Amino acid sequence: MIFDTLEDIHSSIDKIIVDDPPFSSREGGIIRSSYDYLIQENRDLVNHSEMYLNKLIEKEKKKKTGIKKVLSLDLIEYLDII
């Protein structure tokens, strides 16, 4: 009798799950970013959302005003405080 060792399933799971998964699934980060480009893209959006929003705001300001270079939002906020 030959027993199936399920190595193909083990190999797939090993490719998907990170080496040191968090204790709770609620923490997230269980699936490797490299497993699927959408996972990486979504994590990138979550981790860098402020940067993406700033770029979008800057692009809109450039389009609206016709100015090619817009001051950084941090500098604009600082100048508004003064």
pLDDT at residue number 62: 80
pLDDT at residue number 81: 56
Phi-psi region of 28 (alpha: psi -120 to 50; beta: other; left: phi over 0): left
pLDDT at residue number 64: 83
Residue given tokens 């100015």 in the structure block: 67
Q: Which amino acid is at 51?
A: M
Q: What does pTM read for this prediction?
A: 0.51
Quick: pLDDT tens for 24-71: 888 888 999 888 889 889 888 888 998 888 888 888 888 887 777 665
Mean of pLDDT values over 64-80: 65
On whether the CB atoms of residues 39 and 31 are closer than 8 A, the answer is yes
pLDDT at residue number 9: 85
Query: HEC states along 52-63?
Result: HHHHHHHHHHHH
